[in-house]
Amino acid sequence: MPRHPINRYASTISLDHHLRMVDQLPSVISSQTLFGNDAPLQLEIGSGKGLFMQNASGKHPEHNFLGVEIAYKYAAQAAERLAKHNRTNAIMASGDAEPLLNKSIADQTLAAVHIYFPDPWWKKRHKKRRVVNSQSVKHIYRVLEPSGSFHFWTDVLEYFESAIEMIAAEVPQFGPPIPEEPEVDTNPIATEATTNLSPPPIYRTHFERRSRLHQIPVYRVRYDKR
């Protein structure tokens, strides 16, 4: 009986163009090194199953997208979405985003950094594992282009409030957070679901979908590099 190597993901289509391990990425991350062009590059940290990567790369074909997801299985699922939708402007990398952010991305490289619903690490002794932390926010500011944006959404009020306070102290150059609104489809194709109700929501990520369907409050902000 053949044995599958650890981490193998049984995809029905080739993920060769859409999935890499973080340590197989170029030592310097840029649109040129990843995609061979100079389009603006956006980074998502903790992509989960990749709904944001799929939608954003389809909506903005003029941009490139790198998603980094530590759980190989989710990275592969996200890559499968990108492959199925023939996205040539988006790839997934499996591994820890923090060393990548700290060491492999030059100053002023990214048009945007996205962190949606990061793991909350509730216990006090585990909070240092949070991906939005005093080091990562400094690097996020550093790698953003002028007027680039950092999007941070969560359903954990304590994480949200402590992150806002920490960013104000660690990276005051960001200025105050800018509230973001949930998206709705303003041009829906008429369907039973849309004819007699308000426009349907567009979920940015799977966790946003889950929170909204369960009426769990979501806290959304963006910071623009000034």
Ligand X SMILES: C[S@@+](CC[C@H](N)C(=O)[O-])C[C@H]1O[C@@H](n2cnc3c(N)ncnc32)[C@H](O)[C@@H]1O
Binding site for ligand X (CB under 6 A): 45-48, 68-71, 74, 96-98, 116-119, 131, 205-207
Q: How far is the CB of 52 from ligand X (least distance, A)?
A: 7
Helices (H), 154-219: 157-170, 192-195, 206-213
Q: Which is nearer to ligand X, 174 or 207 (CB)?
A: 207
Q: Rounded distance, CA 71 to CA 78, Å?
A: 11
- Whether residue 119 lies in the annotated active site: yes
Q: Rounded distance, CA 54 to CA 180, Å?
A: 20
Q: How far is the CB of 69 from ligand X (least distance, A)?
A: 5
DSSP annotation string for 178-189 = EE-PPEE-SSPP
Q: Which is nearer to ligand X, 83 or 156 (CB)?
A: 156
Q: Which is nearer to ligand X, 32 or 166 (CB)?
A: 166
Q: What is the CA radius of gyration of the chain?
A: 18
Q: Which is nearer to ligand X, 32 or 55 (CB)?
A: 55
Q: How far is the CB of 14 from ligand X (least distance, A)?
A: 23
Q: How far is the CB of 146 from ligand X (least distance, A)?
A: 26
**186 Cβ neighbours under 8 A, 6+ residues apart:** 199
DSSP annotation string for 37-92 = S---EEEEES-TT-HHHHHHHHH-TTSEEEEEESSHHHHHHHHHHHHHTT-SSEEE
Q: List the catalytic residue out of 119, 155, 185, 224.
A: 119
Residues with catalytic roles: 119
